[in-house]
Amino acid sequence: MKTIESINLIYRDPSVRGGRPCIVGTGLRVMDIVMEQQQGEREPEKIALLYEIPIGEVYAALAYYHEHKKEIDRDIQVDHEYIRRVKAETLGR
């Protein structure tokens, strides 16, 4: 008989980080891991050291990202737009 195992390392809570998917036991968003890899071009081992989390949690976040790519990419874009807007407002003062 086949058993399908599940790795429960990602959670969502509306009261934590706007309900965005995070690594269990932290407020570290999946998108933080993804952005670090994309923008910093870091290997998962270096990301684990940077955030002081087990390597398995980095890989879980990356796996989650690949299963929910459209949603996470949209969240990243929303964050980038927010940062640009805040910088523009701050520089305009």
> Domain holding 60: CATH number?
1.10.10.10
In a domain, 2, yes or no: no
Give which of 20, 16, 10 is closest to 58, Cα–Cα. Answer: 10
5 inside domain: no
Reported as a pLDDT band with limits 50, 70 and 90, residue 89 is confident
When pLDDT is cut at 50, 70 and 90, the band that residue 3 belongs to is: confident
CB 46 within 8 A of CB 5: no
* pLDDT per position as a tens digit, 67-79: 999 999 999 999 9
Domain membership flag for residue 84: yes
Where is pLDDT greater, at 60 or 87? Answer: 60
pLDDT at 93: 63
The DSSP-derived string for the chain is ---------EE--TTSGGG--EETTS--BHHHHHHHHHHH---HHHHHHHHT--HHHHHHHHHHHHHSHHHHHHHHHHHHHHHHHHHHHHHT-
- Give me the chain's average pLDDT, please: 92
Q: Across 31-40, 60-69, 80-89, which has the greatest mean pLDDT?
A: 60-69
State residue 39's pLDDT score. Answer: 85
Structurally, the chain folds into a number of domains equal to 1
CA atoms of 12 and 15, how far apart (whole Å) = 9
Q: For residue 26, what are the domain limits?
A: 10-91
